[in-house]
């Protein structure tokens, strides 16, 4: 992805103007430091536009365009049959959703976990997964996004977001994936503010990021 300045039209630009741009590149939070040159990282980092993709929410039928969310958003990448890293990632987002629930921030953020297992993660499965993980879908700020098919999942999750996943051998619970972990905090102008590449992201930090971006 090339670093490029983004011209935003209409209300979104006004929001950015009011909240202020700290880095001059559309960011509001201070530069995030990385262990290596972020140009060499496979995932989008501070100051870059979130990969521009449109994905369906199979539960509501809505189409979500990542660059037109118009609110700060939190992304992570998962599959619902995962027993190890993914429930921690989803659980962290769920805890953040609960933390902002009933506050002024509740309607000012979107939680957008993207599955890379569209074969099994259909609407019914994701609805059950939400119930199992105590995600509150009625809050209206959470959308599971599901690429249409395996090839599209690769194209979006691996090629655009830099989260690689490889299907592994069958287990008693069906096939699994070896995969990397990533949580992205994106501002209302669709610029990445934080990229946490860990299977155990800091819940308190994510909540603080959301609160900082939602005023």
Partner 1 sequence: MRRRTAILAGAGAIAAVGATQVWGSRTRSAVREEVRAIDAPGSNAGQMQVPSVGTPMIVDLFATWCAPCATQMEALSTAHANHGEQVRFISVTNERLGGGFDADDVAAWWRSHGGAWTVAIDEGSNVMRAVQATGLPYLVGFDADGQIQVSHGGIASVAEVESMARAVG
Footprint of partner 1 on this chain (CB under 8 A)? 1, 38-45, 48, 82-85, 87-88, 91-92, 94-95, 97-99, 101-102, 132-136, 139, 158-159, 162-164, 166, 168, 176-181, 199-200, 202-204
- Nearest to partner 1 of 56, 141 (CB atom): 141
Closest distance to partner 1 from the beta carbon of 29 (Å): 18
CA-based nearest residue to 206, from 107, 33, 73, 55 = 73
User: How are beta strands 165-171 and 110-115 bridged, if at all?
Assistant: unpaired
State the nearest-atom distance from the C-beta of 161 to partner 1, in Å. 9
Backbone torsions φ then ψ of 63, nearest 5 degrees: -105, 130
**Least gap, CB of 17 to partner 1 (angstroms):** 26
Buried b / exposed e over 133-162, threshold 16 CB at 10 Å, is eebebeeebbbbbbbeeeeebeebbbebbb
Question: Least distance to partner 1 from the beta carbon of 150, Å?
Answer: 17
Nearest-angstrom CA–CA distance, 188 and 213: 8
CB nearer to partner 1: pick between 50 and 188: 50
CB count within 10 Å of CB 213 equals 24
Task: Name the residue nearer to partner 1 (CB basis): 92 or 187.
Answer: 92
Q: How near is the Cβ of 136 to partner 1 at its closest, in Å? A: 4
Measured from the CB atom, the residue of 23 and 42 that comes closer to partner 1 is 42
């Amino acid at each position: 992805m090339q670093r490029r300045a983004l011209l935003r039209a209409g209300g979104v630009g006004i929001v950015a103007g009011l909240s202020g741009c700290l880095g001059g590149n559309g960011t509001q939070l201070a530069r995030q430091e990385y262990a290596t040159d972020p140009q060499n990282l496979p995932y989008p980092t501070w100051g870059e536009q979130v990969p521009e993709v449109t994905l369906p929410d199979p539960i509501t039928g809505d189409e979500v365009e990542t660059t037109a969310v118009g609110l700060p958003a939190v992304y992570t990448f998962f599959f619902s049959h995962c027993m190890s890293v993914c429930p921690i990632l989803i659980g962290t987002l769920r805890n953040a959703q609960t933390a902002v629930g009933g506050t002024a921030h509740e309607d000012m953020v979107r939680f957008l976990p993207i599955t890379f297992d569209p074969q099994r993660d259909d609407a019914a499965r994701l609805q059950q997964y939400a119930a199992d993980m105590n995600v509150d879908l009625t809050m209206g700020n959470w959308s599971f996004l599901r690429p249409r098919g395996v090839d599209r999942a690769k194209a979006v999750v691996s090629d655009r977001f830099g989260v690689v996943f490889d299907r592994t051998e069958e287990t008693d619970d069906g096939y699994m994936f070896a995969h990397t972990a990533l949580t992205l905090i994106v501002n209302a102008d669709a610029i990445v503010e934080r990229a946490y590449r860990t299977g155990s992201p800091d819940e308190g930090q994510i909540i603080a990021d959301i609160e900082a971006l939602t005023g």
